[in-house]
Structure 1
Amino acid sequence: MIAVVSALGMTTFLGGCGSTGSSDVTLKLVAADYGDSAANTSQKYWDRLARDYESRHPSVKIQVSVYSWTDVDRKVKEMVDAGDPPDMAQIGAYADYADRGLLYKADDLLSIPVQADFLGQLSEAGQLRHVQYGIPFAASTRVLFYNKTLFDEAHITPPKTWDQLASDAEALKAEGVKYPYALPLGPEEAQAETMQWLLGGGSGYTDDIGTYTLNSPQNTETFTWLKDELVGKGLTGPVAPGKLNRADAFAAFASGDVGMLNGHPTLMQQAAKKGVKFGMVPVPGRSGTPKSTMGVTDWMMAFKKHGHKDRIGDFLDFVYSRKNVLDFSREYDLLPVTTSASDAMADAQQDENLRPFLDELPLAQLYPFGKTSWAQISADIKKQIGQTVSPGGDPTAVLNRLQDKASTAESAELAG
């Protein structure tokens, strides 16, 4: 869910030796990088945490390899396909591995207090056929970020509806703003921007019973509106939405070139570092604030291949301690996945900027993570959704193609 800018080579370190048993064990973890530079790479977080754990369990070594979001899911897949999965992986999707019987159940690993501390809707999203395999790791929601300076110069106020958003974008364009509204439908994270707009249009990726509805009438209307009212009128900037990645859109906002865009908490720090004065409001919908915003969570999972269930579980209990969850969330401006850390953050003055996101999380709608087909459907969306708003593009045809593939995958999933 939360993308970064560059691939990091595999970096590992080894600590001491010993643990909950008598023999030495090395646990291998592959994790995603949430940093935006070498200075705040997640490798540093995991190295500190692993050293702390090893000092308490001297016969266990924690070997961590951190990769960018561009690479990490592929790296884990390659390891699994080669028959040598890591003991743990912190990546974007779990369901396919769970469906193949490769993962431990969450309740085989975690203590009861740790399991009970997870936010309910996140634990449910980690279930395949009512059994939890995916352990939520980090969460975020979306709000509309806007550049206060550019808005003041254009004499406009933050929008609450799509029509107001289009009107504001027109005013920003008249002032020479490079990207009045940045619409990142490029391959990096197009599924996120897409889902936010679908929710604003009154639909989503699935219906209330979880069946794919990519080509619903509301979704078709949503992308037709985007094509005609924003992209077709030159209100989304010089880069075609289908080629604009989220990281580039965020960087442009932090450089003062974007009037408004949908963003998650990490954009706050990025913009503040560059001195951009920004505001945040709920993402507009067709006729007002949507009934739910988009929530994203990433996943921790443990592979059964090499055993070590008890030691993996003990380490994960440590990872999900209140202190460690808070430390990670604060380091990367993300939302905690546990109730204890969420309550602490809600009460802390230092986390005041995250409260708009925290307030949205309980009602946020997540990707259909529990469907084994989601990983492929998400990849298809990343590749094709930008065509809906391209010159000569046909939103109906693109959404129909995506729905056909989704329906086929869903049928195979149910048959399996």
Structure 2
Amino acid sequence: MRCLVVLIASLLTIAACGRETQTGAAPTQASAVSEGKATGEITVWAMGGEGENLGKLAAGFERENPEAKVKVTPVPWDGAHNKIANSIAAGQTPDISLVGTTWMGEFAKTGALQPTPSSFDRNAFFPGLWATTEVGGTSYGVPWYADTRSLYYRKDLAEKAGVKPPATWDELKSFAHAMKDKGGAAQGINLQAAGSGAWQTFMPFGWQAGAELVGSDGKFTMDTPQMRTALEYYTSFHKSRLSSSERLVPGAQVADFVNGKIGAFISGAYDRSVILKQGGPEFESKYGVTELPKGDRAASFAGGGDLVVFKSAKNSDGAWKFIKYLSRPQVQAEWFTIQADPPAVQAAWQDPVLAKDEFLQVFSRQLKVAKAPPSIPTWEQVAATIDSGIEQAANGAPVGDVLKTMQASANSIGTGN
């Protein structure tokens, strides 16, 4: 996710150990969205570029609903978590807010979110994205835009090395060797080994190996043979110096990719514009993107942004109608032309602008097999534990010991449920 997460334990009513100290309101059935046009003011908080540009899209909704007015308040991502938490604590929320997918478990558990009306068709969305809205079996929002991960690679260096884009784990290892030994890259591939969010690059390998983060009994499953297989494979790139285990400064990965120091890396569609900005139009022919190589099964990370309606909303009916409007395939496609956010609605990818763009279609195919982390109130704390374990293993710590520590830490934090 393109955001900074700051946890405010007192506002989320989670004790230092991560276990819940307040249960919050029990799930209730959301009211049905009424027939007819929306009316009244609809207040929305949106972060980053979404907040700056949503007004352009809201104009269409207001033309269809002349008695309704959408008021968008842009909120910086680095202050968004605190602002939402404070508004919940004070009972002064907007009607709608954009929420990072990994925050859903925290905010739903406070009892502050309305369950999603049944009139929304979950099958219209990519399964992994809809899963980000579900907490304890109940959906508390609607996916707005998508984020997943695919493999960027230097086509020119691959041609020099005599290799094709990898489709399996074995091929990825030989591909990375060739990109370094024959292609001239200092790193055959960069796999994030340190810093916040390393788990987003690692967990697709975990899921591909058959690992899960939480079992059917609701308990963490970090120390398993499947997770060990994934972590040993992932960190073998660092131990064989095919990938650096150092913490990169922001922007360094793309810069090193453009200058040829990195032969490949894993990231979202948003890096396309950054690459072309740094490399210039002529660089477009020098790189490509492909789906993540498969392990026992195909998988990637599912994230992005969800839209939620608060129980304290003053205009719930108008809020859900606006979200319904934003979920139309043609509106999702229009939003992509404004903000370049990949659509969360599957039918939107059939729009001519998206359908003819093979770069984007790689991410569309990747979204079909993308998985989300568990929507639990303590996820950010658990994610930090995984990040720490990845860094330790990448720097030589025995994987078995790392997984035992990771499991114990996750157990001590708890799920918050």
TM-score calculated relative to the size of structure 2? 0.77
Code of the aligned partner of 1:265: A
Q: 1:412 to 1:311 in 2, by over 3 A?
A: closer
Q: Could you say which residue in structure 2 is the equivalent of 1:356?
A: 362
Match among 73, 82, 97 for residue 107 of structure 2: 97
Does the 8 Å CA contact 1:54/1:62 hold for their aligned counterparts? no
Find the aligned partners of 2:207 and 2:226 in 1 and give their Cα distance.
9
Find the aligned partners of 2:220 and 2:249 in 1 and give their Cα distance.
25
Per-residue Cα deviation, 1:14-62 (whole angstroms, up to 9, x for no partner): xxxxx944xx6361x23233xxxxxxx3344213123444454455341
Residue-pair matches, total:
376
Q: 1:386 to 1:100 in 2, by over 3 A?
A: same
Does the 8 Å CA contact 1:266/1:332 hold for their aligned counterparts? no
Q: In the alignment, does 2:253 pair up with 1:249?
A: yes
Shift of the alpha carbon at 1:147? Answer: 0.3
Shift of the alpha carbon at 1:3? Answer: 5.3
Match among 47, 54, 58 for residue 32 of structure 1: 47
Q: Could you say which residue in structure 2 is the equivalent of 1:311?
A: 318
Find the aligned partners of 2:202 and 2:42 in 1 and give their Cα distance.
41
Q: 1:323 to 1:380 in 2, by over 3 A?
A: same
Structure 1: gaps spanning 5 or more residues: 5-18, 34-40
Q: 1:54 to 1:97 in 2, by over 3 A?
A: same
Match among 199, 212, 222 for residue 220 of structure 2: 212
Match among 290, 297, 300 for residue 281 of structure 1: 290
Shift of the alpha carbon at 1:410? Answer: 4.3
Match among 91, 103, 106 for residue 116 of structure 2: 106
Does the 8 Å CA contact 2:209/2:296 hold for their aligned counterparts? no
Find the aligned partners of 2:127 and 2:159 in 1 and give their Cα distance.
41
RMSD: 3.2
Code of the aligned partner of 1:235: L
Q: 1:340 to 1:222 in 2, by over 3 A?
A: closer
Match among 199, 209, 219 for residue 201 of structure 1: 209
Per-residue Cα deviation, 1:180-219 (whole angstroms, up to 9, x for no partner): 2111234342221021221233324234666421221222
Q: In the alignment, does 2:55 pair up with 1:47?
A: yes
Does the 8 Å CA contact 1:184/1:249 hold for their aligned counterparts? no
Percent identity between the aligned chains? Answer: 22
1:402-413 aligned at under 5 Å gives the runs 402-410=406-414, 412-413=416-417
Shift of the alpha carbon at 1:236? Answer: 1.4
Code of the aligned partner of 2:268: H
Q: Secondary structure at the match of 1:179?
A: coil
Match among 123, 127, 139 for residue 146 of structure 2: 139
Does the 8 Å CA contact 1:200/1:284 hold for their aligned counterparts? no
Q: 1:334 to 1:252 in 2, by over 3 A?
A: farther
Q: Secondary structure at the match of 1:106?
A: coil
Does the 8 Å CA contact 1:294/1:366 hold for their aligned counterparts? yes
Per-residue Cα deviation, 1:91-138 (whole angstroms, up to 9, x for no partner): 22212221221011111xx8x266674445543442223221021111
Q: Could you say which residue in structure 1 is the equivalent of 2:335?
A: 328
Q: Could you say which residue in structure 2 is the equivalent of 1:64?
A: 73
Q: Could you say which residue in structure 2 is the equivalent of 1:376?
A: 381
Does the 8 Å CA contact 2:231/2:390 hold for their aligned counterparts? no
Find the aligned partners of 2:255 and 2:338 in 1 and give their Cα distance.
19
Shift of the alpha carbon at 1:412? Answer: 4.9
Q: Secondary structure at the match of 2:368?
A: helix
Code of the aligned partner of 2:99: I
Code of the aligned partner of 2:135: L
Q: 1:25 to 1:331 in 2, by over 3 A?
A: closer
Does the 8 Å CA contact 1:269/1:333 hold for their aligned counterparts? no
Shift of the alpha carbon at 1:384? Answer: 4.6
Shift of the alpha carbon at 1:258? Answer: 1.8
Does the 8 Å CA contact 2:131/2:372 hold for their aligned counterparts? no
Find the aligned partners of 2:145 and 2:329 in 1 and give their Cα distance.
13
Does the 8 Å CA contact 2:349/2:355 hold for their aligned counterparts? no
Bigger relative contact order, structure 1 or 2 (CA pairs below 8 A, ≥6 apart): 2
Q: In the alignment, does 2:269 pair up with 1:265?
A: yes
Code of the aligned partner of 1:89: S
Does the 8 Å CA contact 1:187/1:245 hold for their aligned counterparts? no
Q: 1:3 to 1:372 in 2, by over 3 A?
A: closer
Does the 8 Å CA contact 1:186/1:245 hold for their aligned counterparts? no
Q: 1:409 to 1:57 in 2, by over 3 A?
A: farther
Q: 1:247 to 1:79 in 2, by over 3 A?
A: farther
Find the aligned partners of 2:127 and 2:171 in 1 and give their Cα distance.
35
Code of the aligned partner of 1:136: P
Q: Could you say which residue in structure 2 is the equivalent of 1:401?
A: 405
TM-score calculated relative to the size of structure 1? 0.78
Structure 2: gaps spanning 5 or more residues: 5-36
Q: 1:162 to 1:389 in 2, by over 3 A?
A: same
Q: Secondary structure at the match of 2:324?
A: helix
Q: Could you say which residue in structure 2 is the equivalent of 1:126?
A: 133
Q: Could you say which residue in structure 1 is the equivalent of 2:179?
A: 172
Q: Secondary structure at the match of 1:312?
A: helix
